[in-house]
Amino acid sequence: MWMDVGITFFISQIILLLIPAAEVVGEWSSKILDLPDSHITRYLNTFKDEGEKCRNSESCIYQHILETGLCWGYEENCPDHLGYSNAHCPGDHKGWVSSKSQQLQTFVNQADFGFVKQQLQSKTVMCKPRLDGESFLECSQYLQFCRGSNLYIDFRDLPSRKESFRYKMDVLKKGQIGGRCKLNDFKLQSEAVHQSPLQSWAPEIQHFQELPDLVNKQSKICDVFIDRPTFIMKIDATVNMYHHFCDFFNLYASLHLNGTHNEMFSRDVNILIWETYNYHSNFGITWSVFTKNPLMNLRTFQGKRVCFREVIFPLLPRMIFGLYYNTPVVWGCQESGLFHAFSKFILHRLKIPKRTAIDLVELPRIKITLLSRNTQYRRILNEKALLDKLRSSPRQYTIQRVEFTHETDFRQQLNIIQDTDIFIGMHGAGLTHLLFLPDWASVFELYNCGDEHCYADLARLRGVHYQTWSNPAKLKPQDEGHHPSDGGPHAKFTNYSFDTDEFLRIVDSAADHVSQHPTYRHTFGHLNQPSKSSDEL
- Examine residue 518 and state whether it is found in any structural domain, yes or no: yes
Integer angstrom CA distances of residue 264 from 29, 56, 127, 147: 17, 22, 23, 13
Residues 84, 193 share a domain: no
Angle at which helices 37-46 and 48-55 cross, to 10°? 110
pLDDT of residue 23: 39
CA 169-173-174 angle, 5° bins: 130
- Examine residue 245 and state whether it is found in any structural domain, yes or no: yes
In angstroms, rounded to a whole number, what is the distance separating the alpha carbons of residues 342 and 322? 16
The tens digit of pLDDT for each residue in 36-70 reads 999 999 999 999 999 999 999 988 999 999 989 99
The tens digit of pLDDT for each residue in 135-187 reads 999 999 999 999 999 999 999 999 999 899 999 999 999 999 999 999 999 99
Residues 357, 277 share a domain: no
In angstroms, rounded to a whole number, what is the distance separating the alpha carbons of residues 326 and 318? 8
**CA 477 from chain center: how many Å?**
34
Element (H, E) at 461: helix 454-462
User: Where does the pLDDT of residue 312 fall: very low under 50, low under 70, confident under 90, or very high at 90 and above?
Assistant: very high
The tens digit of pLDDT for each residue in 218-269 reads 999 999 999 999 999 999 999 999 999 999 999 999 999 999 899 999 999 9
User: Where does the pLDDT of residue 209 fall: very low under 50, low under 70, confident under 90, or very high at 90 and above?
Assistant: very high
In angstroms, rounded to a whole number, what is the distance separating the alpha carbons of residues 169 and 172? 8
Residues 281, 175 share a domain: yes
Q: Which of 262, 263, 261, 281 is nearest to 273 (CA)?
A: 281
The tens digit of pLDDT for each residue in 406-450 reads 899 999 999 999 999 999 999 999 999 999 999 999 999 999 999
Residues 256, 203 share a domain: yes
Residues 250, 362 share a domain: no
What is the chain's Cα-based Rg? 25
pLDDT of residue 324: 85
**CA 117 from chain center: how many Å?**
17
pLDDT of residue 363: 63
The DSSP bridge pattern shows strands 146-154 and 136-139 to be: antiparallel
In angstroms, rounded to a whole number, what is the distance separating the alpha carbons of residues 61 and 437? 27
The tens digit of pLDDT for each residue in 477-508 reads 999 988 888 878 899 999 999 999 999 999 99
Residue span of the structural domain in which 411 resides: 352-525
25-39, 115-129, 472-486, range with the lowest pLDDT? 25-39
pLDDT of residue 67: 87
What lies within 8 Å, CB to CB, of 488 at 6+ separation is: 482
Count of structural domains within the chain? 3
Residues 364, 512 share a domain: yes
User: Where does the pLDDT of residue 26 fall: very low under 50, low under 70, confident under 90, or very high at 90 and above?
Assistant: low
Question: SS3 sequence, 142-193?
Answer: HHCCEEEEEEEEECCCHHHCCCCCCCCCCCCCCCCEEECCEECHHHHHHHCC
pLDDT of residue 530: 45
Residues 479, 371 share a domain: yes
User: Where does the pLDDT of residue 531 fall: very low under 50, low under 70, confident under 90, or very high at 90 and above?
Assistant: very low
Residues 249, 382 share a domain: no
Residues 304, 361 share a domain: no
The tens digit of pLDDT for each residue in 92-109 reads 999 999 999 999 999 999
Residues 82, 125 share a domain: no
In angstroms, rounded to a whole number, what is the distance separating the alpha carbons of residues 507 and 11? 36
- Examine residue 204 and state whether it is found in any structural domain, yes or no: yes
User: Where does the pLDDT of residue 12 fall: very low under 50, low under 70, confident under 90, or very high at 90 and above?
Assistant: very low
State the average pLDDT over residues 327-337. Answer: 94
- Examine residue 22 and state whether it is found in any structural domain, yes or no: no
pLDDT of residue 362: 57
* CA-based torsion, 30, 33, 35, 41: positive or negative: negative
280-289, 362-371, 506-515, range with the lowest pLDDT? 362-371
Structural contact between residues 434 and 464, judged by C-beta atoms closer than 8 angstroms = yes
Mean residue pLDDT of the chain comes to 91
CA dihedral (424, 425, 431, 435) in degrees, to 10, reads 0
State the average pLDDT over residues 335-349. Answer: 98
Residues 418, 304 share a domain: no
Q: Is the peptide bond before 324 cis (omega within 30 degrees of 0)?
A: yes
pLDDT of residue 246: 97
pLDDT of residue 5: 41
- Examine residue 387 and state whether it is found in any structural domain, yes or no: yes
Residues 173, 283 share a domain: yes
- Examine residue 88 and state whether it is found in any structural domain, yes or no: yes
- Examine residue 153 and state whether it is found in any structural domain, yes or no: yes
| Amino acid in the structure at residue 188 | L
- Examine residue 53 and state whether it is found in any structural domain, yes or no: yes
